[in-house]
A and B are shown apart, each in its own frame.
Chain A
Amino acid sequence: MPLVSIRDLSVAFNGVPVLRGVALSLQKGEALGLVGESGSGKSVTWLAALGLLPRHAKISGSVLLDGREILAAPASELDHVRGGRVAMIFQDPASALNPVLSIRKQLCEALALHRDLTGDAVKAEARRLLDLVGIPDAARRLSAYPHEFSGGQVQRIMIAMALAGNPDLLIADEPTTALDATIQAQILELLSSIRRETGMAMVLISHDLGVVAENCDRVAVMYAGRIVEEAPAHQLFADPVHPYAQGLIGALPPLDGPRRRLTAIPGTVPDPASMPDGCAFAPRCELAAEPCRLATPTLAPIADDRSVACIRAEASRRALLGIAAE
């Protein structure tokens, strides 16, 4: 049984659909990368799954955690899932911690919620967690406030807080986007060392394909509120099938081999309020044909562990191989 299984998840804000039937599953201990442009629904997928969207969001579909439906679960059950089974860290660490509460208070709060610890045991565990994420002088720093730490340190504290409940899954929503390149590498290294030790699964939401390629087993590409391609990381980068995925990867400079012109995807993401009929990528797609504008393609398997939502998948693959042969 997969750890998480999302089926047909849709979200609309004020009648405007932002997620349009997302299907995704995640095995225990797996690292899944979720890539796509801003607004493609990467974060919304997980905020919706955990019940963290504002009340006016219309959500439908199904999210199973260990086979149990959590999408319409009562608040008391969700509070147990959030932080306890599934933890989440966010993009902008500086504003993600409460500015008027000490680190100790925020860390111990998470510990008290999800672990049967009391009194000194809570404090000892809080110190251990800060040590684990590499905050020096943990005992003293616990009484400090968020503004007294650097951005990278705050993200480390966020990670410590996320680990407080011993979660089975960590959703890292653009965890390094707001950080310097060197700090970025340190945080990613920290995350993977924690995963090696705990066996925790991870969803890494990012628009940085390099980050995803290095840190994930499998990658799902999102476009306009849907998953358009899903594949093992090395396969996706070596041989992307969906024209959008090809476009994303074509826009990356290759590290080896001859220099080539970087390709850009023409046009922009369609406005969610006025989605084109059929495939949402068709207006920007060089391979688009008449049938593309008629029906929305569904995510269909093309190999053992790969699937793609494109009726021109075969043509697209051939086109890619043709380019590669030149």
Chain B
Amino acid sequence: MILFEEVSKVYAGNFSALKEVDFHLKQGEMAFLTGHSGSGKSTLLKLISLMERPTTGRIVLNGNDISHIKGNDIPYMRRHIGMIFQDHRLLMNRTVLENVGLPLLIEGYNQYEIKRRSLVALDKVGLSGKEDYAPIHLSGGEQQRVGIARAIINQPPLLLADEPTGNLDPKLSLEILSLFESLNEFGMSVLIATHDLGLIAKMRYRTLTLKEGIMINDGLMRERNG
């Protein structure tokens, strides 16, 4: 699904954000990406979501080498990645339904199909009946769920989440992670970037740990309690 081969990223001013990172996330696998602020988590996610290009090394996504992908191909490649952000990145001037249906609108689905699928996706994330709300009228947790519904609506093979529980209380955080688990059960690969080690410890998944741009650990962090 995702293959990193000796990937480095150097920003202007000779700042090395990633240093020869290697890892392989298989199809249907769920993993955490952790590390302190500035460890390179966001850079790694940006490389996968094609917001940045690697300075050296090779990135393969879903069988396609995206290290030197052409600019015109980026939108089509992004349609195969569901992205979830800490700040949700919702369109506040549109309804929940319109936000969720955005990827399908872009892909050229008709209005009937967009509405049908959006309602199913909202039901899946527990937001049935809130389709006509403006996102501003929803709580932080609900907004995050809208973001998740938008990310999964076009059934991407890969789900990337950048600090998806950063603004949520522990109970809501666990609910969101359970949601990711259920999506993973459907066959989606899931990569969650978080610095919440407590949360990672409660789950039993592979954890990639970055420190100053170097992958220092790749494996299970700890057995889940209970």
A and B are interacting partners? no
Q: Which residues from chain B sit less than 8 Å from chain A, CB to CB?
A: none
